[in-house]
Amino acid sequence: MNNSSQPVPGPGKKKNKIDLGFIRIPRSILPIVEKVFLLFIVALAIYYFFPKISSFEETLYIFSSLNFWAVLLAIAAQILRTWYGGYTLKECVNISEKKISTLQATLISMASYSFGLVAGGMVGGTATTYRWVVVSGGNKEGASLGSIIPSIFLSFAYTAVSMIGMVFLLTINNLSTFQIVTFSMISIFLALIAIALVLIVKYQDKSVSVIIKIASVLYRIFKKDLSEEKLTRELQKLFNAWNRLAHGGWKKPVIGSFLNVGLDVLTVFFLFWAAGTYPSALAVITGYGLPNLFGRMAFMIPGGVGLIESTMVALYNSLGIDNSVTTVVMLTYRFLSFWLPSILGFFFLPYFNRLTDNHYKELAEE
């Protein structure tokens, strides 16, 4: 027996509205909403990238002056890095019952990062990752793991690489107080995240109770009815996925995260070779680790734009590498590792827009 006050659609009758959570959108205007939103994001992308076209032209000119074979190695390293970024996401999603391919996960990773660059930063990127995993065939549990865990594991990988650099700087008496304080603060922040995740998984019943209370408040604010039974059931599924992650499911995502960072370090190494300079592996790792970790923690600046380049140049200069060489390497590195993937990611937005549109149409027909 159905106790709901909402009328039940008769046989063959479709729902007029699609429930997206706190809002309900008329089914007939959903395609229009999706297309307008896509155009808005594309407009933001054009606004963001158009002023940088001249600097891109300068970077491409610099590429022509570098050793071609070393540039090819750097490009290959970046392609593999992008692939392993998708691999990490895929392995997190596939811990749940539904699975997606590495290729699909790679496209999601690139497109969501580009989205976050112009709309919402880390929050926007996380939300779109969740959404696109679901519309790509994953379930909510896998989407929650895929939208949160890769970023955390990647931050731990950056921390490990940065620690190597810290030890090296300490041995050559080149470690500043600012670097020590900043690294310590970031490490404490990551440790708190790890502790919070462990406590949530360990005390699941209490966690469910707290989440339901918070959800009840939010639903009252938006004047919506909350089905505690349904929410509890969904949370139990989510915790089951997190339990599988804790009991061995973390291994492949961690490997993917370290390969992601390692291939990025190789890119810098190859670009120094392309510029005719051959620094030691320790010097390259030292100049890479701390700046990228600092940039990753700069939540108010999506991608740490500007912060990474300037800090890397300063560190490499302090290690005795010529400023002109370092500047060339940083310009080409940021183009390959940041700007080019970000631009390419926007080309996948129409594809995910279509997937999302089809997904909600299917929900309306159920």
- The parent domain of residue 191 ranges over 28-49+72-365
State residue 90's pLDDT score.
Answer: 94
Structural domain contains residue 23: no
CB atoms within 10 A of CB 316: 27
Structural domain contains residue 253: yes
Task: Convert the pLDDT of each residue in 208-234 to its tens digit.
Answer: 888 888 888 877 877 777 777 777 877
> Of the ranges 180-184, 187-191, 337-341, which is most confident?
337-341
C-alpha to C-alpha distance for 361 and 366, rounded to whole angstroms = 9
Mean pLDDT estimate for the chain: 80
Work out the pLDDT band at 243, boundaries 50, 70, 90: confident
Work out the pLDDT band at 31, boundaries 50, 70, 90: low
pTM (whole model) above 0.85: no
Work out the pLDDT band at 271, boundaries 50, 70, 90: very high
C-alpha to C-alpha distance for 7 and 294, rounded to whole angstroms = 54
* DSSP H or E run through 305: none
Q: Exposure string (b/e) for 75-99, b if CB count within 10 Å is 16 or more?
A: eebbebbbbbbbbbbbbbbbbbebe
Q: How far is CA 346 from the centre of its chain?
A: 14
Structural domain contains residue 187: yes
Query: How many domains does one find in the chain?
Result: 1
C-alpha to C-alpha distance for 344 and 114, rounded to whole angstroms = 8
Structural domain contains residue 108: yes
Structural domain contains residue 63: no
C-alpha to C-alpha distance for 116 and 36, rounded to whole angstroms = 18
Tokens of 111: 């497109």
Structural domain contains residue 45: yes
Task: Convert the pLDDT of each residue in 91-108 to its tens digit.
Answer: 999 888 788 999 999 999
Q: Exposure string (b/e) for 153-182, b if CB count within 10 Å is 16 or more?
A: bbbbbbbebbeebbebbeeeeebeeebeeb
> Of the ranges 23-32, 97-106, 231-240, which is most confident?
97-106
Structural domain contains residue 11: no
State residue 211's pLDDT score.
Answer: 82
